[in-house]
Structure 1
Amino acid sequence: MRILLAEDDAMLGDGLRAGLRQLGFQVDWVRDGEAAERELASGAYAAGVLDLGLPRKDGLDVLQALRARRVAKPVLVLTARDAVPDRIRGLDLGADDYVIKPVDLHELGARLRSLVRRAHGQMQDSLRCAGVLLEPAARQVSLNGEAVALSTREFDLLHALMRNAGRVMSREQLEEQLYSWGHEVDSNAVEVHIHHLRRKLQPDLIQTVRGVGYVVLRDPEAA
């Protein structure tokens, strides 16, 4: 899943971006509050990690502006401001989680997955549909109990579709979920990945809605 990281400290930001990428996240990194607000208001990200002491616009002001614009994107505040009034204000302004630096990367990854899961109304981390089980934390997929090897892009594409089960997603929306800044995208990349997923999994798991995009239908037994 694609995450926006807003952090002005170069060393910390580089470390967080590298660590989250190792956990399977696609990460874009901005270093000031105006850029954070602009990017989080777009539809490209599943969630944001927001420092508060940002130049050009403080993180709390960013959060307040986003919620005033009815941007419901999950936002995790990651900051050194550990005073109780700061935490209360951040949560009252619309933060979905508030974590004090330093944080363990695996905990940060788990918290982000939890935020995104709750935003999609999901009770459990694992996703199921038509005999397919996807486990985001372990980045594993199985079909009827048998492990299936997927490439990184195949896994991320399947995760995006299953996370949005019942919702048709266009090629452009899927590309936004799969690729962070600096990655060139072949014009038929999504179609190629979907072809491979259909071959490795159920042929009818991913359905094409002609002229619109692709959808994984909700599995009543997984609800």
Structure 2
Amino acid sequence: MHYYLYEPRAKHLQGLLAELDDSDLDPVSVSEDFFEREFDLAESDGSSDRPILLSENPKTLDYIASLRQSGCRNPILVLRDERDPEAAMAALDAGADDDVVRPLSGAELRARVNAIKRRFHGHAAGSVQIGDITAYFDGRDPDVAGEPMKLSQRELAIFQQIALASPRVVSKSVIYDAVYGMAEEQPFDKVIDVYICRIRKKIEEMSPASDPHIRTIRGRGYQLVPQDKPEIARIALRQRMPASAQVVQEAQL
């Protein structure tokens, strides 16, 4: 996953990148223009999970307020060189999700970002059980029927987008933007279908019920749910029907 990094002090930038080298997150350095003009250009369907790291500076509160006022829902983390409780409280009140004192390891950053992301998607715990699957939000491969399922780095990135959204439907464009949106070389979006097919096959082979769990919702995207669950079907239907029809649907399911 990529993250936006604002560190205006050139001599501090390389040191910060070295601290975060083991995060498995790819930095994209941004300038002051990002907060004034460029964030709107960087927005896409799958970009809201990308964290924004702000090294403390005189405009920190202004930048946070500008992002939130523009509708930005990305995790925002402020990085400080030393502890400052009052400044930290002001940043959190302005809309930051976390305020951290350096030095900060990449592993700690990843854990903090994962915690923010899963709460944003409505998951309180670090894992979720979906039928035969246990999906983890800390970067681990999922388990199927208690056994680990080995996924490639790209397969895992795609699977986690679907797992985070479960039981909601996630569109192919959201998955594509989250996984490839900032890559220098961007493949055709059909690559998502290929990866989904591979993941489904792996799950189906390991599931005692031979259930691939990942459903294709035609014209809308993908959904991670166990087989034959009326309450999941109800959620899926409610997402795409007008309120006037929901009462009738509830009575039928």
Equivalent residue, structure 1, for 2:191: 189
Of 181, 202, 215, 1:207 maps to: 215
Query: Is the 2:4–2:53 Cα contact (8 Å) retained in structure 1?
Result: yes
Instruction: From the superposition, tell whether residues 13 and 186 of structure 1 become closer, same or farther in structure 2 (CA, over 3 Å).
Output: farther
The one-letter amino acid of 1:94's match is G
Secondary structure at 1:193's aligned position in 2? helix
CA distance in 1, matches of 2:30, 2:70: 22
Where does structure 1 differ by over 6 angstroms across 4 or more consecutive aligned residues?
218-221
* Structure 2 residue runs without a partner (length 5+): 205-210, 233-253
Q: 1:180-208: per-residue Cα shift (whole Å, max 9, x none)?
A: 33243234210110000110003541111
100-109 or 69-78: bigger deviation: 69-78
CA distance in 1, matches of 2:95, 2:151: 36
CA distance in 2, matches of 1:13, 1:172: 32
Equivalent residue, structure 2, for 1:74: 75
Query: Is the 1:7–1:29 Cα contact (8 Å) retained in structure 2?
Result: no
The one-letter amino acid of 1:107's match is E
Match status 1:149 vs 2:150: yes
The one-letter amino acid of 1:161's match is I
Give 1:164 deviation, angstroms. Answer: 0.7
Equivalent residue, structure 2, for 1:98: 99
The one-letter amino acid of 2:33's match is E
Of 11, 16, 19, 2:14 maps to: 11
CA distance in 2, matches of 1:147, 1:193: 18
CA distance in 2, matches of 1:81, 1:147: 41
The one-letter amino acid of 2:177's match is E
Equivalent residue, structure 1, for 2:127: 126
Secondary structure at 1:201's aligned position in 2? helix
**Count of residues paired in the alignment:** 214
Equivalent residue, structure 1, for 2:52: 48
Query: Is the 1:48–1:75 Cα contact (8 Å) retained in structure 2?
Result: yes
Identity %: 24
Q: Greater Rg, structure 1 or structure 2?
A: 2
Query: Is the 1:75–1:95 Cα contact (8 Å) retained in structure 2?
Result: yes
* TM-score (structure 1 length as normaliser): 0.83
CA distance in 1, matches of 2:201, 2:56: 46
CA distance in 1, matches of 2:151, 2:91: 39
Query: Is the 1:131–1:144 Cα contact (8 Å) retained in structure 2?
Result: yes
Give 1:92 deviation, angstroms. Answer: 1.4
* Structure 1 residue runs without a partner (length 5+): none
CA distance in 2, matches of 1:33, 1:128: 42
CA distance in 2, matches of 1:184, 1:64: 32
Give 1:161 deviation, angstroms. Answer: 0.3
Give 1:75 deviation, angstroms. Answer: 1.1
> Of Structure 1 and Structure 2, which has the larger fraction of its residues in helix?
2
